[in-house]
Amino acid sequence: MKKLFLSIALVGIATFAFAQKKVVRSADKNFKSGDLEVALGEIDAALQDPETKDDPNTLLLKAKIQTKMFDLDEDFAASTVNTGKAALESFTQTMAMVGNDKESKVGKEVYKEEIPGMPENLRPYSLLSLKTSAFNKAIQTYEEDDYQMSYEFFNLVSDIDPTDTTANFNAGYLAYQELGNSEAAKKHFNRLLEVEEYNKLNTYYFLIQIASAEDQDPEKAYEYVVAGRKDFPEDKTLSEFEVQLLLQMNKLDEAMASVKEALKDDPNNSGLLLRYGYLLEQSGDMEGALAEYKKAVAADPDFFEGNYYTGAIYLDRARAILAEVNNLSDEEWEVRAPQMSAEADQLYKDAVPYFTKASEIKPDNTEILEILYQIHTRLKNPSEAEKINQRLIALLGPDWMERER
């Protein structure tokens, strides 16, 4: 009798296990026929059963079902992205069950190639199918100017394959430039830094900008500059970034050494010449600063900052002389004031062409126009002063002088 009961029990167990495998086969059949909701329900049930839940093929089938659902979903909504993420998670767990062995039977199925134009019944709905579908959705939503969803799909591609440079750059660019999400942008740009053969120059530019501007972290930005200059030692923009950041961190000596080194290779770089002049000005060498600012203008006559900084040096010198004149005693004033005033006037005259050029470059800059008005008034050039006055009236209104007071 015991043997009879034992035989009945074994038959029951075998029948139950067979039933669960039948559920998996039914899920596979519904997957292939396109009845995906039913297939997903069946495979979820199989994944709850001890007889089938530990078989990586069961979870692999779920991943394929989810991939097909993602591929066919044309809503391009957050729910679509979530389906894709769920498929990725199922593929990831499947690979973990086989020790992440891509050469195993299951691993080869997970990474089976998706060939364009393949008949529906032969499509593998593999991890690579998921990547291809996500990339296509990213492109389509981008072309429809739906930058948020385009980012989400590029982000999914990036999570599927962190070494995909196109997906990472596009995701980083969209996150930063279109969505204002610098944290998301950093994720993708930093992934690009890990790809050895990738040209990372623009990636460094973005990361430096984010660290310096959005994160207010000049030290981190400087780290990116150092890494970038190691990869691109001849790049002029990185040299300028280096000087700018060293200044920002109050490392005057290092900045001075850096800009001098950069100028050896690029002596007519107006931006570097301007920064060198600024460094000299900060160190108290006003003559040296003026010389470098003038070199910057000579290298690029339409360089606004070069013209403005050069004019500002002359202006500050003139004002300093006049302030000294005002502090002279009566006896000293009689002797020195005429010569000192003439010297100040000459400095004002020297400033005029630089501020005039700066005003031509930025005609709506009222600060420069006010400076020119004051200079021409001081130099007794009434016709020039009136021209400037009319421009200021047009920009600020007829009471611009009263408003300034």
- Could you give the angle at which helices 382-396 and 366-378 cross, rounded to 10 degrees? 150
Rg value, the chain, Cα:
35
Token pair in block for residue 23: 């559920």
Q: Look at 101 and 331; give whichever has higher pLDDT.
A: 101
Residues with Cβ < 8 Å from 81, sequence gap 6 or more? 149, 152, 153, 156
Percentage of residues of the chain with pLDDT beyond 70: 94
What is the spatial distance between Cα 106 and Cα 121, in angstroms, rounded to a whole number?
Answer: 19
Token pair in block for residue 73: 């979903």
Phi, psi of 249 (to 5 degrees): -95, 10
Mean pLDDT on 135-142: 97
Reference 116, options 124, 108, 104; nearest CA is 124
What average pLDDT does the structure give for the chain?
91
Token pair in block for residue 203: 């990636």
User: Coil, strand, or helix at residue 399?
Assistant: coil
Which of 59-63, 104-108, 334-338, 339-343 is predicted with the least confidence, judged by mean pLDDT?
334-338
Residue 376: Cβ within 10 Å count:
20
What is the spatial distance between Cα 302 and Cα 308, in angstroms, rounded to a whole number?
Answer: 11
pLDDT of 259: 86
Token pair in block for residue 173: 């660019």
Percentage of residues of the chain with pLDDT beyond 90: 73
Phi, psi of 169 (to 5 degrees): -65, -45
What is the spatial distance between Cα 261 and Cα 239, in angstroms, rounded to a whole number?
Answer: 9
pLDDT tens sequence across 382-398: 999 999 999 999 999 99
What is the spatial distance between Cα 252 and Cα 237, in angstroms, rounded to a whole number?
Answer: 19
What is the spatial distance between Cα 133 and Cα 71, in angstroms, rounded to a whole number?
Answer: 6
Q: Look at 220 and 233; give whichever has higher pLDDT.
A: 220
- Within 13 Å, how many C-alpha atoms sit on residue 371's CB side? 24
Mean pLDDT on 119-140: 94
- Within 13 Å, how many C-alpha atoms sit on residue 154's CB side? 27
Q: Do 94 and 60 form a contact (C-beta atoms < 8 A)?
A: yes
pLDDT tens sequence across 235-282: 878 877 888 888 888 888 888 888 888 899 889 999 889 989 988 888
Q: Please spell the DSSP secondary structure of 195-215, one letter per residue.
A: -TTS--HHHHHHHHHIIIIIS
What is the spatial distance between Cα 219 and Cα 233, in angstroms, rounded to a whole number?
Answer: 20
Instruction: Give Cα separations from 320 to 223, 269, 326, 336, 368 (angstroms).
Output: 41, 31, 10, 15, 19
- Max distance between CA atoms of the chain, in angstroms, equals 136
Mean pLDDT on 341-352: 95
Instruction: Give Cα separations from 284 to 229, 276, 292, 297, 385 (angstroms).
Output: 30, 12, 14, 21, 33
**At 324, is the pLDDT very low, low, confident or very high (cuts 50, 70, 90)?**
very high
Q: Do 262 and 239 form a contact (C-beta atoms < 8 A)?
A: yes
Q: For the chain, first and last CA: distance in Å?
A: 113
Mean pLDDT on 113-135: 92
Mean pLDDT on 47-61: 92
